[in-house]
Structure 1
């Protein structure tokens, strides 16, 4: 049997070691690719957070915050309500007088659709 010769045994062992080294190298390469992908993802996330923070700062600088807008709207609403209250107080007496005049001044007259019966 030629397969039992020491030279062939050495070649088979060398081939086996080479295959193991290639497999190990592939595992290291896959591990390194995975690690590089994770690192790149973290860098992307960090960059996104920085850009978002810059955007928020610019937005607040030029547009103001939402709280500022809410406060401005609340103040405007309060001013308008106070103005309406003052106008109501000012015209309340006049409106009540007109309403009472309409209710209490009764002018008896025939309805326009009523026809006087003729004999």
Structure 2
């Protein structure tokens, strides 16, 4: 029986070693999975940060060009206002004189279609005369 019990003991020890090896393999597999997961998360974070940086750069380029455009429009508007004010100041006196001359230089005359009526005669315009 001792040989049987020794054989059983050897089998139990072999089974225990196999069980220990399986547990170690499971632990290593768990560690590898955990490490792979951490590496994947780090890679995802790196990729996300890179894409966000590219997005911000593109956004700044677009918004910067719009800011440039609005600054250019404001500058053009200011230049136009300056030109109009300058033109106004330069031509103001001459336009006032022209308007006053036209207003004061009135030559009253009767319109040709005006009819004059007297007792015996009816005048239609300068050339037409009915008796």
TM-score over 0.5 (shorter chain): yes
Q: What is the match of residue 4 of structure 2?
A: none
Structure with the larger RCO, 1 or 2 (CA within 8 Å, 6+ apart) = 2
Q: Which has the larger radius of gyration?
A: 2
The root-mean-square deviation of aligned C-alpha atoms, in Å, is 3.9
Q: What is the match of residue 93 of structure 1?
A: 104
Partner of residue 21 from structure 1, selected from 35, 55, 64: 35
Q: What is the match of residue 110 of structure 2?
A: 102
Q: For residues 1-119 of structure 1, what are the structure 2 equivalents within 5 Å?
A: 5-45=19-59, 48=61, 52=65, 65-95=76-106, 97-98=107-108, 101-102=109-110, 107-108=116-117, 109-110=122-123
Greater per-residue strand proportion: 2
CA distance in 2, matches of 1:11, 1:75: 90
Residue segments in structure 1 that go unaligned for 5+ positions in a row: none
Deviations 1:44-65 (A, max 9, x none): 455x28x749x67xx69xxx64
TM-score when normalising by structure 1:
0.58
CA distance in 2, matches of 1:17, 1:73: 78
CA distance in 1, matches of 2:59, 2:105: 68
Paired residues in the alignment total 100
- Residue 70 of structure 1 and its aligned partner are, at CA, apart by 1.3
CA distance in 2, matches of 1:69, 1:93: 34
